[in-house]
Chains A and B, each alone.
Chain A
Amino acid sequence: MSEHDVTRLLGRVAAHTPHLDVDVSGVVDVGRRRVRRRRLTAGGATATVLVAALWLGQGPGRLGDQEVSPASVTWEVEEETTVDVLERINAERGRWTQPAMEEIRSLSVTKGPQGSSATYVVDGVEQTVEGETMAGGADLFVGEGVTVVLWRTAPGAKRDVNLVPYVSETSSEMTGSLEIDGADLSYWITVGASNYRPEEIIFHNGHQVWTASGQVATTVQLRDGDAEVTGFDLPQVPMIGIVDGETLGGVGQSARRAEDYTVARVPSEAVFARQVRMGQTQVGQEREVVDVGPAVPTEELPSADLVLFDWEGDDYSDVQWSADAITWHAQNQDDAAETTVQPGPVDPGGMVRLLDETYVVALDQHDWPELRKEDGSVFLSVSDEKGVIADGGAVMWREDWWPWSPRNYVYFAVGEERLPPVADGAELQDVVTVSGPAGVVTLGAVPARDG
């Protein structure tokens, strides 16, 4: 059975498709509702009102298509209690595994209805600090070189939490949980950072994300090939990141690489993104794109888009984005930085841009690719009723109506993937290869010059 037979058989199957239908007006109604819901999650005051309703325990809410019930994380006590936290941690975890943590010789917390304090010994010096209340009612103790956060473990949350802002100095962190008088508490201890004062705790349950203050993240599913993660956005933190099962992490301006996937953050105007492999260059020269991966649709979040790439290889270290899959921009560049290599070969049905005009790739009567304008008229064809006209040539047109006005050129080479140098040494731009069953045609343009 040939591939042609398969195509024929599938065509017959298509002709016998049962009666199926989708109500397009219903699609529009659903789309409008989702747009309104997204505006509620991304907006300012309105979102704050909804978050406050959740925080006050008025029942589970539904924001951004998620359903979580953020609740207070305050460790509440009826009478003053003093706990040797360090002893409890050592009992449950064993010896400290990070040398910096061994600087702490003791750590105890006193908690009562009127307030809290922490006493610890670091480098032989005892310090007592007053407790503060941070987001969600967590207890915060900020001392010289030590920061401790204690909170009642959030129901349903994974043990992996993030405190924001992140510590900017080199330091050691330890996080975990312990039980004190029947209360399930979680702790975070940072040693080595001076006056580190986190403002928010980020929780997740593997696919939903929320904060101690009650904000609920907008989430999207990211997938490519066999890779799949949940992307999230907390505009008011602000934080954009991913949840991959047990772990949560932020995605900054550089792509985040895991063992078998890469996640990148791209501007909101992006529709597609791709990984690219840059070539080796001499010192002082700009790197060029030597290969590109497949274009992957981006997923929209209120603050930016995220995109996930299944593993392409360590060489594909850069990311580009595009609004039309034709003009590509480097991930972190604000200006349109067109690459010299357009994705190719471009098959029939695809589009190419030459000198700021878009043409559709079609097939002529001999199955060679030809370029058509948006109105369907042929811009460039390499064959006529007798066959291929020539191995190469150019299409030219004047910039203006007078006979001596400068000319634009589009050069082409039939059956070749590169163009020969232009006679007067002009530099080719918009170089692209288009393909059809009969073969490939490579094109390049030279814009009209003054004079």
Chain B
Amino acid sequence: MRREQEDSFVEFATSVKPWLLTTAWMLSADRHAAEDLVQETLVRVYLKWSRVGREQPVAYARRVLANLHTDRWRRTRREVLVEEPHEGATGSVDAEVVDVIRALQSLGPRERESVVLRHYLDLSEKQTAETMGVSVGAVKGYTSRGLAALRATLKEDDHV
């Protein structure tokens, strides 16, 4: 890869890293897995940078991250969601955040992916479908079920 291409990749990777990490953490609920997912995502974007760098690198990175997340839960056929909500800087735990994290963890992988892509990354149904590699109809179903499950879980905790 030419030097200027590599420089542009570094600039891109630095700019997208924060939201990629947040997305990966929401999906995996495991900080180490999230860092691994994002590192592998960025390596794969690097390998195709000469092609995707000029066009839609953000969309490509999202798609790779979603695929790697799918790889991870398919490989294990179960997710070990052991991440305990961390304490804030003040030492106190934000109860609402803790409840939402636990509610996200209770969703199936595909439902969690769909809800995070639609409502954290604010993707359209079509963009979410392309990211997840499924049809728009499937996204509607995953999102609907995911939101219903979140509502039910959070309602129990009186967030509704």
Residues of A with Cβ closer than 8 Å to B?
1, 3, 6-7, 9-14, 16-18, 20-22, 24-28, 30-32, 34-35, 221, 223-225, 228, 269, 271, 293-297, 300, 310, 312, 323-326, 345, 347, 349, 351
Contact = CB atoms under 8 A, between A and B. Distances in A.
Given A1-B155, A20-B35, 15 more contacts: A1-B154, A1-B159, A20-B21, A21-B17, A22-B35, A24-B10, A27-B46, A28-B6, A31-B46, A269-B51, A271-B60, A297-B60, A300-B47, A324-B55, A347-B126
A102 to B, nearest CB: 46
Most buried by B among A7, A14, A312, A324: A14
A17 B132 CA distance: 23
A224 B70 CA distance: 10
B17 A24 contact: yes
A14 B120 contact: yes
A211 B106 CA distance: 46
12 contacts: A1-B150, A6-B147, A9-B100, A16-B86, A16-B97, A24-B10, A223-B70, A228-B74, A271-B51, A294-B133, A300-B48, A324-B55
Contacts of B133: 223-225, 294, 296, 310
A159 B147 CA distance: 47
Nearest to B159: A1
A50 B139 CA distance: 46
Given A1-B150, A223-B133, A325-B55, A13 B39 contact: no
Interface string B133-160: 1111010000000010011001100011
Most chain A CB within 10 A, of B9, B10, B135, is at B135
Interface of B: 1, 6, 9-10, 13-14, 17, 21-22, 24-26, 31, 34-35, 38-39, 42-43, 46-48, 51-52, 54-56, 59-60, 63-64, 67, 70-71, 74, 86, 88, 94, 96-97, 100-101, 104, 115-116, 119-120, 122, 124, 126-127, 129-130, 132-136, 138, 147, 150-151, 154-155, 159-160
B47 A35 contact: yes
A297 B64 contact: yes
Nearest to A20: B21
B10 A9 contact: no
Given A20-B31, A31-B47, A271-B52, A293 B88 contact: no
A312 B150 CA distance: 29
Contacts, number: 146
Query: Do most interface residues of chain A lie in helix, strand or loop, or is the interface mixed?
Result: mixed
A20 B154 contact: no
Contact of A22 (B21, B51, B132, B134): B21
B88 A16 contact: yes
A439 B64 CA distance: 31
Given A28-B46, A31-B47, A297 B116 contact: no
B13 A27 contact: yes
B interface secondary structure, majority: helix
Given A34-B47, A271-B60, A312 B135 contact: yes
A310 B21 contact: no
Contact of A13 (B31, B67, B97): B97
B145 to A, nearest CB: 13
What 8 A-B pairs are tightest by C-beta distance, nearest first? A31-B46, A324-B55, A20-B21, A224-B133, A347-B124, A10-B120, A27-B42, A24-B13
Nearest to B9: A28
A310 B138 CA distance: 12
B9 A6 contact: no
B51 A293 contact: no
Contact of B14 (A6, A10, A24): A24
Given A20-B31, A223-B70, A10 B51 contact: no
A7 B116 CA distance: 9
Contact of B56 (A6, A20, A324): A324
A3 B100 contact: no
A34 to B, nearest CB: 6
A448 B1 CA distance: 39
Contacts of B24: 20
Contacts of A25: 10
Contacts of A297: 60, 63-64, 67
A79 B132 CA distance: 61
Contacts of A293: 135
Contact of B22 (A14, A221, A228, A271): A14
B119 A22 contact: no
A268 B62 CA distance: 21
A142 B136 CA distance: 55
B68 to A, nearest CB: 10
Given A300-B48, A325-B56, A310 B119 contact: no
Contacts of B159: 1, 9
Given A271-B60, A296-B133, A17 B51 contact: no
A21 B21 contact: yes
B154 to A, nearest CB: 6
Given A13-B100, A22-B42, A223 B71 contact: yes
Contacts of A16: 86, 88, 94, 97
Contacts of A271: 48, 51-52, 55, 60
Contacts of B25: 17-18, 20
Contact of B35 (A10, A21, A300, A347): A21
A3 B147 contact: yes
Contacts of B151: 1
A148 to B, nearest CB: 42
